[in-house]
Amino acid sequence: MIVAAAARYFAEVGFSGPTRDLARRVGVTQPLLYKYFASKADLVEAVFARVYLDRLDPGWRALIVDRRRPLRARMVEFYRRYTDAIFTYEWMRIFMFAGLAGENLNARYLEHVRELLMKPLLAEISAAAPARKPDIEDMWSLHGSIIYLGIRKHIYQWPAPDDALPAIERAIDRFLGEFAPAARAVSPEVSPPRASTPPRRARS
């Protein structure tokens, strides 16, 4: 209960938020927090583990390298799942707070993303790209165009589409149009029926 409330709390106010306010939210007194965490930094570390390390890569990599499926479908579904996992108030804001505070969380996480997700994705596209092959910077460019949707919504609190999927599909199609035109959607139109999509974003 403490870690869950702390994740929400630190996502709102940052790591400099006083522990007394956090304790009030949990419904306990402030000294009790120090029964379970030796220091405030310990509690922050527990929040990191809960929000990031725990929900890392539930089959994302396997999805990317599954060549039985068309490349575009794999990319769209990967980014759909990925953004479903990270386009949340807590994930986005704690990640930004950590970056600004100089925590090494971001470097650790992004190294993971690069090695386990971006490089495999790059390999898949290169395998399907007859002419010009993308490099890792092209991958980060695509990645950034998608992540920016979450930044607009959760950091800038600036209107962004409720459903990120159409924008994601268009970004992916533009990307494939450059590197693997044969793999992109036949029609420039967006979002085929979306038959077996599970209900998105259960809360918030």
Partner DNA sequence: TCTTGTATTTATCATCCGATCATTTATTGT
Partner DNA sequence: ACAATAAATGATCGGATGATAAATACAAGA
DSSP 200: P
CB of 182 closer than 8 Å to CB of 94: no
Q: Which of residues 60-99 bind a copy of itself (CB under 8 A)?
A: 93, 96-97, 99
Residue 107 CB, shortest distance to DNA, in Å, is 24
Per DSSP, the residues of 108-161 read: HHHHHHIIIIIHHHHHHHHHH-SSPPP-HHHHHHHHHHHHHHHHHHHTS-----
- Among a copy of itself, DNA, none, the one that 188 touches (CB under a kind-dependent 5 to 8 A) is a copy of itself
Neighbour count for residue 109 (Cβ, 10 Å): 18
Q: Which is nearer to a copy of itself, 45 or 178 (CB)?
A: 178
- Among DNA, a copy of itself, none, the one that 20 touches (CB under a kind-dependent 5 to 8 A) is DNA
CA torsion, ordered 177, 181, 187, 193, to nearest 10 deg: -90
The piece of 40-48, 60-68, 120-128, 152-160 that touches a copy of itself (CB under 8 A) is 152-160
The piece of 31-39, 54-62, 74-82, 156-164 that touches a copy of itself (CB under 8 A) is 156-164
- Among a copy of itself, DNA, none, the one that 40 touches (CB under a kind-dependent 5 to 8 A) is DNA
User: Tokens standing for 114?
Assistant: 């690069």
Binds a copy of itself by CB under 8 A, chosen from 178, 185, 194, 201: 178
